[in-house]
Amino acid sequence: MHFDIFTLFPEMFQGVFECSIIQRARQAGLVSIALHNIRDYAPGKHRVTDDVPYGGGGGMVMKPEPIWNAVEAVLGYDPTGRKDVPIILLSPQGRLFTHAVARELAQQPRLLLICGRYEGVDERVRRYLATDEISIGDYVLSGGEIPAMVLVDAIVRWAPGVLGDPDAPLDDSHASGLLEYPHYTRPAIYRGFEVPAVLRSGHHAEIARWRRQEALRRTHERRPDLLAHAPLTQADREFLAQLEREAAESAQTEL
């Protein structure tokens, strides 16, 4: 899959895209990423990319021409109003980026990501050029570069062949609708803190049961909202009911 990223600060991406999983995926030819400096597409000697807002007020707004020119040059056609390829504007006003959205976008062979700066981009970019708007959370960052990195990292994990063990992400938090169970590694005892005996028992069915119950326990404790949509078995429901009873009992004891 291929990403085209439009930014005023391409140098910000170097460290993130040049190590670990993303770098290996690029070297293996599974993923390619092209960084496009919006300033290179700004008309005029001074290559101005922002201007004061109409109507007054503080801050600067990113001009539409450099962004539009850049997207048009990279795609090779006028993208206005077309939906041939997803053109994603990173914005705190967009739909929230979740596990499900990452998987949805991972189906695309090509994605264009536009990183805003300052007060944001001219509204016409959002309305007539972008085909989608994505937010990485309910807070405001200084620019769309970090959100673009977040999208690329989360999406690349789902590209075929990128992770050594293709089943690994299936157990990850949110993939199955639950938070993942806790992990331990050697040593078995560290500073007196012991790894649960079941994980050292070699009993695969017991380990699987323990992991499922710990995933349910964590989700129940930390993100009970997820349980409403998680696919649950009868045994899961019984375990959750038991957790509810335990919680009610301990609340009674505290009174």
- Assess contact for 127 and 174: CB atoms under 8 A: no
Binding residue for ligand SAM (CB under 6 A) from 58, 81, 139, 254?
Answer: 139
Shortest CB 152 distance to ligand SAM, Å: 13
Closer of 142 and 185 to ligand SAM (Cβ): 142
Binding segment toward ligand SAM, per CB under 6 A, in 11-19, 48-56, 102-110, 141-149: 141-149
- Assess contact for 149 and 16: CB atoms under 8 A: yes
Decide if residue 93 touches ligand SAM (CB under 6 A). yes
Question: In angstroms, rounded to a whole number, what is the distance separating the alpha carbons of residues 5 and 88?
Answer: 10
Binding residue for ligand SAM (CB under 6 A) from 15, 29, 109, 142?
Answer: 142
- Assess contact for 216 and 240: CB atoms under 8 A: yes
For the chain, what is the radius of gyration of the CA atoms?
A: 23
Shortest CB 53 distance to ligand SAM, Å: 10
- Assess contact for 194 and 188: CB atoms under 8 A: yes
Question: In angstroms, rounded to a whole number, what is the distance separating the alpha carbons of residues 236 and 95?
Answer: 31
Binding residue for ligand SAM (CB under 6 A) from 113, 115, 162, 199?
Answer: 115
Binding segment toward ligand SAM, per CB under 6 A, in 116-124, 164-172, 178-186, 217-225: 116-124
Binding segment toward ligand SAM, per CB under 6 A, in 30-38, 48-56, 130-138, 169-177: 130-138
Binding segment toward ligand SAM, per CB under 6 A, in 119-127, 162-170, 195-203, 239-247: 119-127
Binding residue for ligand SAM (CB under 6 A) from 91, 152, 156, 240?
Answer: 91
Decide if residue 96 touches ligand SAM (CB under 6 A). no
Decide if residue 144 touches ligand SAM (CB under 6 A). yes
Question: In angstroms, rounded to a whole number, what is the distance separating the alpha carbons of residues 211 and 205?
Answer: 10
Question: In angstroms, rounded to a whole number, what is the distance separating the alpha carbons of residues 153 and 144?
Answer: 14
Half-sphere exposure of 54 (CA within 13 A, CB side): 4
Decide if residue 234 touches ligand SAM (CB under 6 A). no
Decide if residue 7 touches ligand SAM (CB under 6 A). no
Decide if residue 193 touches ligand SAM (CB under 6 A). no
Shortest CB 39 distance to ligand SAM, Å: 16
Q: How many helices (H) and strands (E) does the chain have?
A: 10, 9
* Burial call 82-104: b when 16+ CB within 10 Å, e when fewer: eeebbbbbbbbebeebebebbbe
- Which residues are the active-site residues? 92, 119, 157, 172
Question: In angstroms, rounded to a whole number, what is the distance separating the alpha carbons of residues 162 and 31?
Answer: 9
Q: What is the DSSP letter of 127?
A: I
Decide if residue 49 touches ligand SAM (CB under 6 A). no
What residues line the site for ligand SAM (CB under 6 A)? Answer: 90-93, 115-117, 119-121, 135-137, 139-144, 147
